Structure formats: C-alpha cells, structure tokens
Amino acid sequence: MSLRLLQVCLIVLVILGGCQRLQLFADTEALSDESFSRLWRIYSHCRSSLESDEMREDLQDLSRALRHMSETRNRPAFLPQRVEHWIAEQPSRLSVDPRAMALACALRAGQAAQAEGRIQLAAELFGFVLSKDREPPYAYYVVQARSGLEEMQNDRLAIERSEQVMKVSVH
C-alpha cells in the first residue's frame, strides 16, 4: 500500500510541478542580460553606422551569436539525433528577434554599400538576406533585398546602354 501511495504522490508532484521541472532538455539557460545587451549594442551600432564595412563587421558578430544560439538551442537530450530534425524550432523568447536583427543589419549594410557604389559588397549582403529565412516574419527583409538587387541590375543595364550609346556616337 505504501509503494502505491508513493507512486501516486510522485505523479501528483509531477503534474503540479509541471514537466518543465524535469531536466529533459539540455542547455535550457536563457540568453543572459549581458549577452542580450551586447547583441543590442551591436545591432544599434549597425543601424547608426555610416560605413558599410563597419556594418558588415556588426553583421558578422550578430551571425556568430545566432549560430551559437542555434547550436545551444533547447534540444531534447533524450532523443536520438535522427529524430531531432522533426522537432519544431522554439520561438525567440526575447522582446526582439535576434534573427530579425541580423537580417535588418544585413539589409541596411547592403543599402549603404549600394549607395557607396560598392556593388559587389551590396550584392553579397543582399544575398545573405536572401539565403536565410523566407518565413513570413522575415519576408519584408527578403522583399527589400530582392528590390535592392533588382535596382542594382537596372543600374548596371542603364550603364551598359549608356556606354553603348557613347561607343556609337564616338564612331
């Protein structure tokens, strides 16, 4: 009888305490305030900078942080690796989305590089945005990056046409 009572008590404790009390997930530590402040400083610098090279460095820092966060994401420690890819990614619990911060930084840096006439760098930065997320929360960044690439393509075609016109008028 006492074994049965002990089992019932354990079940009630688990139900009342919630499954989150069990250590089923590895690395469940949230992003610390210090880490978040660092990410926010990098993002803010990217948004306020006028130099595309500085923005690119900020983007690299944000990308490294995102990689680290995704590597330490809350994965069930008790599941085999071949099952892990079926588990949905946990949404960001921060008041801002670090992925959106990185995409916004890349987009801003691409636009700055484009304005500076650094077409190759702009294309690389817009390409970064296009190579990442196409999910609805990030669609704005994808549309803007595509627009930037199309604008560069149109500018290039206009330059080629004007060069052709200049060649014809010289001959």
For residue 112 the two structure tokens come to 């700055």
Q: How many helices (H) and strands (E) does the chain have?
A: 7, 0
Dist CA 45 CA 67 (whole Å):
20
Average pLDDT across each block of 10 residues of the chain; the chain has 171 residues. List them in order. Answer: 74 60 42 76 94 94 84 57 59 70 94 93 93 81 93 78 63 55
Structure tokens at 76: 């069930």
- Cα 167 to Cα 5, 24, 130: the distances in Å are 95, 71, 36
129 in Cβ contact with 142 (< 8 Å):
yes
What is the per-residue pLDDT for 148? 93
Q: How crowded is residue 38: how many other Cβ atoms within 10 Å of its Cβ?
A: 14
Place of tokens 């960044």: 141
- Cα–Cα distance for residue pair 14/20, rounded to 1 Å: 9
Dihedral of alpha carbons 43, 47, 53, 54, sign: negative
Domain ranges of the chain: 26-170
